[in-house]
Structures are given as structure tokens and as C-alpha cells.
Amino acid sequence: MKALLPYFKRERWNITWAIVSVLVVAFATLWQPHLLQQVLEAIIKKDNDTVFNNGIILIVLAVIGIVAGIINTVYSAKIALNVATDMREDLYKKIQTFSYGNVEQFSASNLVVRMTNDINQVQQIVMALFQQLTRIPILFIGAFALAIMTLPNLWWIIIVMMLLIVGVSAFSFTRMGKYFGSMQGMVERVNTLARENLMGIRVVKSFVQEQNQIKTFSESSDEMRDLTIKIGNLFSILMPAFFLFANLAMALTIYMVGGMITEHPTYLAAVTSFISYLMQILFSIIIGGFMMTFASRAVVSLGRIKEVFDTKPMLSFPDVPEEHLAGSVGFDHVTFTYPGDEQPTLKDISFEVAPGEMIGIVGATGSGKSTLAQLIPRLFDPDSGEVTVGGKDVRDVNEQSLRHAVSFVLQRATIFSGTIAQNLRQGKPNATLEEMNWAANVAQSAEFINRLDKKFDAPVEERSANFSGGQKQRLAITRGVIGKPDILIMDDSTSALDARSEKLVQQALNKELNGTTTFIIAEKISSIIKADRILVLDDGQLIGQGSHAELVKTNPTYQEIYQTQKALEEV
């Protein structure tokens, strides 16, 4: 809850208005029974004037109550929206300072949930806070105090009623608490079964297991149903019990007043207002209970948001002037472990690459190829050893210098919604049409872009659904080369291209970007066969480097990979 304070400070005037108006509402609600009591007394005394005056006051008070209620809603909504919007913006800015390790640690989808659902929870609770949470304690305390003032002798009836309510609630909620624990597990089990059957529907059908699956699912579903009913039964007790206690308290009050009526004749008029206060106490307790469960959810959300705010970026860039970095890359005894892993993913890797070289990287899945590539643009820092670009440790250069020097094209091509040109300009702001054409020709994307009505201004839909996998990869390559980077890293980024297009891309890269140092990570030997040098990785270690001709003779791991891919017979 502390995390909200700075935001509340900014809203202090809105908050003042919201609280003042809610106080007016509470006052109007609480004062009505008191005025009623005076009217009743006046009726007994046949005092026409008092009845008339109090009647007018009653109506004016109610109208003020309505207006105050509306004002309160407007200001509560303002506060809730301002807090949520500002917090969302701060959260987004915070995430933008994250290094890639942070994003992976939270996972992108998890961060999205915090930005959307959790912020929404906070908005709801802030709104409720100023509409209800402040009103409930005021109403409760006010009604309690006024009730005692009205019939001082009967204060104990209120206490007994409250004790009974608390007792019943405690009884059912402790019971329910136990059930809720097992409920969570059952919900997960049922959802898992549904999801597995959904994704594996072809498996279930082809193995003719529909009936068995239905049986398994029904058993879990029935278990969940039985528990749901148990919880429902406990809930069923609450409301009738609460109202019974309140009504019995009411009856007891009237009965007690009957006994005292000759000593305190004025109590006759006071009974009704006392009962009204009793009911207000009851409603405050019920609404307060609901609010508590509501608030506990919001506290969880706030905790999750705070976790993001409290996260420090895993790495930061030094504040040094921007400089041009040459295309050389060096790894000097680099060891790297992912946060949370026990085993290092890269072990003592050393190699040097001269500007303009084309380097292939091969190895089995999980051998550390992508990890190695990610250290060059400094998405992560090594545990030990040093990564250099242009002869300088990447930890000593300015972020922009590194971004200008290194371009990274990923296997999973992310193209943002908007236009093609907007995406390409992410690689080079202010890129001209000429430059876009050049890059599209290199990446072999010109062929399909030119077929689009609006060419580079053609729209990209959400999730780039209007482009095929191969087209997306080619667009990503176009974005990667448009800035003519000194270093280009292609992480399996031609996997969805057919063999012919892939060859054309490589030829164009050789011709148009021959000053660029290129790293190509690939599953297929054919993608890197022409590289100046190939690095072979196995289980995080660099176990060989050389040209294809050399490795195929000397390196057993490389030979094994090659064997699985080469033709049966030489043609």
C-alpha cells in the first residue's frame, strides 16, 4: 500500500474533495434517523411547527446527500484514473530501462499482465477506497456512537450482535480457508486436463481415447463440483445468520424499551432511530467484509507492481561520449551463466574476428550458440572474461555506439504493427526510400514488397498476421541491414526461407555488405558452408574453428552434424 503514497500526494486536492463529499454523504445518512426521532417526539407532543421544520431539513439533507454522492464519485474516479494512468506510465518507463536479462527473468507475458490486470486491480481499489472504504468506517463508528447516544442503556445489544456476527464469520471463513486451498489445486487440474485435450485433440482422436479422457475429466470435475457445493453451503449460512442476529437485536431492543417505558417515555420515539443505526452497523460490517477480500487482491497486485519497480537493471551503460566502433570482435576467456542456472552456458570461450570476416556458428540445440551471439550487443554481461567490439570492452562503451555498430536479427522475427517503413526505420531512423529499396534488395524482400499496393507504406497488422513466416524473416533482415552496420548477427534468421532465397540473401550480403563483419548461426551446414571461418560449439565450449574444408576433416562433432545432412551419394 505504501507504493500508492507518492501518487496520492499528487492528487491531494482531488482527495480532499472526495473525502469532504463522502463525509457529507455519511453525515446525511447518519443524521436522518436522529431527525426522524425528533419528528416522532413532535408527533407525540402534537408540535406542528417542529414536524414541519424537521421535515424540510430532512429533505434538504437528502438532496445534499445525493449531490455529495455524485461529487464523490466524480472525484474518486479522477483519483483512480490519475493514479492508475501515472503508475502505468512509470511502470512502462521502468521496464524500458530493463536489460534483456530482466525481461527474460519476469517473462514478457508476465510483465504484460502486471501492466494490464494488476494496474486495473489498483484502479478498482483506489476507486473503492474513496467511494466506500472511507465511508464504511465513518458510518460504522458514527452509527455506533449515535446508537449509544440514542438509547444509552442498550449499548450491550449492539456488542452482542457484533460478537455473534464475528463468531459466525470466523467459523465459516476458517472452514472455507481450508477448502479454498484444495480448490486451487482442483481448478488447476481441471484446466490442465482441458488444455491438454485441446492441444492434443488429434492424439486423443487418433488413439480413440475419447471415452477414457471423458472419464478422467469427469472424475476431476465432479471432485471440484463437490467442493464448490461445500463452500457454497458455508456461504449460504452467512447472510440469513447476519440478518437473523440484526432482527433479533431489533426485537430485543423493542422488548427492553417496553420494560423501561414508564421511566423513559422518550425512548418510544428513539426506538426507530436506534434500529436504523443497528441496520447501518450491520451493512457497514457486511460491505466492510467484502471490501477486505477485494483489498487483499489489490494488495497482491500492488506487490507484483512494486516488484517491477524495485528491480534494478542487470546492466547499465557508462556515461561516455559516443564513438565509432570498428567491426572487430573479440572473446577473451568468456564464461557465462544465466541468472538462476547452476551450470554455465558458455565455458572459457576465446576467439578473435577481424573486420569484414564472415563467421558461421554451429552446434547442437542447447550448445550455447545464441547465448554467444547475445554477448556481442551486450544483452548480457559475462561472469568472467571480456567481450570486445572494435577493440574496446563492451562494458566501457556508450549504449548508442554499440547499437549503431551491431545489428542483431533474430530467428523469431518480430515485426511491429504499423507500416513496413516504420519497421525499417527502427533500423535506421530517417532512412530514405532509396536506402529502403537497397536493403529490401539485399534481404530479398523487394520481391513481395513491390507487389503490395502501398509498397513500403503497406500496413503491418497486429502480430504481423498479414505476412508469412518467410516474409517476416526477410523483413527482419531488411531492418537489420538498412543501417549498414559494422557487425551483423543473424541468429538462425533464415530458417523459414527456402534454400534458393537463402542463397540469394547470402550472395547479396557478400556483395553489398562485404565490409561488414557477419555472424551466422545456423542448424544447416549449407547456410554457413561459405563462411570464412566456422566456430563449432558443444555444451558451451568452443571445440573447433576453421573453414568447412578443414573442419570436415578434423573435427568429429562437425563431421557428425555434416553426416546427418549430406547426400547419400556425391552427385
* Percentage helix, strand, coil for the chain under 3-state DSSP, each rounded to 5: 65, 10, 25
Least spacing, CB of residue 241 vs other proteins, in Å? 7
Angle at 437 between CA 403 and CA 420, to 5 degrees: 70
Q: Name which position in 80, 146, 281, 521 contacts other proteins (CB under 8 A).
A: 80
| Contact set for other proteins, span 360-379 (CB under 8 A) | 364-366, 377, 379
Is residue 529 part of the contact set for other proteins (CB under 8 A)?
yes
Render 295-354 in DSSP notation, one character per residue: HHHHHHHHHHHHHHHTPPPS------------S-EEEEEEEE--TT-SS-SEEEEEEEE-
Is residue 9 part of the contact set for other proteins (CB under 8 A)?
no
Least spacing, CB of residue 143 vs other proteins, in Å? 14
Of 2 and 571, CB closest to other proteins: 571
| Contact set for other proteins, span 175-194 (CB under 8 A) | 190-194
Alpha helices by DSSP H, listed for 376-432, are 399-405, 420-424
Q: How many CB atoms lie within 10 A of CB 34?
A: 17
Q: Name which position in 221, 311, 335, 419 contacts other proteins (CB under 8 A).
A: 221
The site string for other proteins over 423-462 (x = CB under 8 A, - otherwise) reads ---xx----------------------------------x
Q: Name which position in 97, 174, 450, 510 contacts other proteins (CB under 8 A).
A: 97
Is residue 318 part of the contact set for other proteins (CB under 8 A)?
no
CA 257/CA 264 separation, integer angstroms: 8
Amino acid at 164: L
Tell how far CA 128 is from the center of its chain.
22
Give the 3-state secondary structure of residue 365.
coil
Which grid coordinates belong to 95?
521496464
CA 370/CA 366 separation, integer angstroms: 9
Q: Is 176 exposed, middle or buried (0-12, 13-18, 19+ CB in 10 A)?
A: middle
Q: Name which position in 320, 416, 450, 457 contacts other proteins (CB under 8 A).
A: 416
Least spacing, CB of residue 93 vs other proteins, in Å? 6
Is residue 205 part of the contact set for other proteins (CB under 8 A)?
yes
Give the 3-state secondary structure of residue 61.
helix
CA 277/CA 181 separation, integer angstroms: 37
User: What residues are paired with 536 via a beta bridge?
Assistant: 362, 544
The site string for other proteins over 278-297 (x = CB under 8 A, - otherwise) reads -x------------------
Q: Name which position in 177, 240, 321, 340 contacts other proteins (CB under 8 A).
A: 240
Applying CB under 8 A, the span of 77-85, 141-149, 165-173, 318-326 interacting with other proteins comes to: 77-85
Least spacing, CB of residue 47 vs other proteins, in Å? 9
| Contact set for other proteins, span 323-342 (CB under 8 A) | none
Q: Name which position in 20, 70, 320, 433 contacts other proteins (CB under 8 A).
A: 70
Q: How many CB atoms lie within 10 A of CB 326?
A: 15
Applying CB under 8 A, the span of 151-159, 294-302, 342-350, 499-507 interacting with other proteins comes to: 499-507
Of 13 and 384, CB closest to other proteins: 13
Is residue 100 part of the contact set for other proteins (CB under 8 A)?
yes
Q: Name which position in 224, 314, 421, 543 contacts other proteins (CB under 8 A).
A: 224
Of 51 and 149, CB closest to other proteins: 51
Which grid coordinates belong to 444?
530479398
Amino acid at 547: S
Is residue 507 part of the contact set for other proteins (CB under 8 A)?
no
Is residue 213 part of the contact set for other proteins (CB under 8 A)?
yes
Q: Name which position in 13, 137, 210, 320 contacts other proteins (CB under 8 A).
A: 210
The site string for other proteins over 19-58 (x = CB under 8 A, - otherwise) reads ------x--xx--x--xx--xx-xxx-x-x--xx--xx-x
Contacts of 84 (CB under 8 A, 6+ apart): 119, 120, 122, 123, 126
The size of the interface with other proteins (CB under 8 A), counted in residues, is: 158
Render 217-286 in DSSP notation, one character per residue: HHHHHHHHHHHHHHHHHHHHHHHHHHHHHHHHHHHHHHHHHHHHTTT-TTHHHHHHHHHHHHHHHHHHHH
Q: Name which position in 410, 421, 452, 543 contacts other proteins (CB under 8 A).
A: 410
Q: How many CB atoms lie within 10 A of CB 447?
A: 14
Reported as type and span, the H/E element at residue 361 is strand 358-363
Among residues 399, 457, 400, the alpha carbon closest in space to that of 423 is found at: 457
| Contact set for other proteins, span 115-134 (CB under 8 A) | 115-116, 123, 127, 131
Q: Name which position in 92, 155, 156, 180 contacts other proteins (CB under 8 A).
A: 92
Is residue 399 part of the contact set for other proteins (CB under 8 A)?
yes
Least spacing, CB of residue 30 vs other proteins, in Å? 11
Least spacing, CB of residue 32 vs other proteins, in Å? 6
Least spacing, CB of residue 187 vs other proteins, in Å? 8
Of 2 and 251, CB closest to other proteins: 251
